Amino acid sequence: MERQEAALPPPLRQIPLPPPLPQNPPYLVADSSSHPPPIDHQLLADINNLVSLASGITSAGFNERNTLRGDAARHEASLVMSEYATAAMEEITERTLEKRSKAATSSRTRKAASPRFEFQTRTEDDVLDDGYRWRKYGQKAVKNSTHPRSYYRCAHTTCNVKKQVQRLSEDTGIVVTTYEGVHNHPSEKIMETLSPLLRQIQLLSGFSPDK
């Protein structure tokens, strides 16, 4: 139970948005399912806002209530931080579930084992940055199409989500992406954005990373 009593936790910083927005944003052309395809920039922006908001509140809390010291101030701040972190997490969960339920039309049957989502984007990039790491495992020429279809699997070991990417032959500017399955782990990009916040919470709460 050796805990690092850092005198004062470092203030949260505004985290720069990770996604490098392409000069040519992929335009959603057709979407049969409303699955979250390319990276959810709006979600990341919202998380950032929550982080900076929480940062402002906690630092303000430290400044204005410096009558509280030590553990009391830390505890106070951790409550505020936890509140915002929880809100952010709930927001993520809510949106994710909403999108998934929209896609899986069946209400309570559990047979929707591997849902598929297809959408089309007008973009120069064949593979869109959706925040996950993918490993290509095949490419095949499909009938009546001048462009081949590529097969990808999620690089995460325990996750077997797959996706196909194919460029339309009629309109070369359009890419069709098909997702199959649901990730059983968070996007690395989102965790990248959230981890500073989570670390801060642990620090303020006096958690030690090891159990």
Q: State the residues that interact with DNA by CB under 7 A.
A: 134-140, 142-144, 149-151, 155, 162, 164
Between 121 and 150, whose beta carbon lies closer to DNA?
150
Q: Which is nearer to DNA, 84 or 134 (CB)?
A: 134
The CA-atom distances, in angstroms, between 182 and each of 4, 116, 136 are: 39, 9, 18
In sequence order, the β-bridge partners of residue 120 are 30, 176
Is residue 152 within 8 Å of 137, Cβ to Cβ?
yes
Nearer to DNA, 35 or 74 (CB): 35
Nearest distance from residue 174's CB to DNA, in Å?
17
Q: How far is the CB of 164 from DNA (least distance, A)?
A: 6
* Least distance between DNA and beta carbon 155 (Å): 6
| Token representation of residue 108 | 């309570």
Going by C-alpha positions, the residue among 97, 101, 74, 67 that lies closest to residue 7 is 74
User: What is the smallest separation between the CB atom of 39 and DNA, expressed in angstroms?
Assistant: 17
Name the residue nearer to DNA (CB basis): 86 or 160. 160
User: Cα separation of 137 and 4, whole Å?
Assistant: 46
Which is nearer to DNA, 75 or 133 (by Cβ)?
Answer: 133
Q: In the bound complex, what is the minimum distance in angstroms from residue 143's beta carbon to DNA? A: 4
Q: Which residue pairs from 98-101 have beta carbons closer than 8 angstroms and sit at least 24 positions apart in sequence?
A: 99/34, 99/35, 99/36, 100/182
Residue 88 is encoded by which pair of tokens?
A: 């952010």
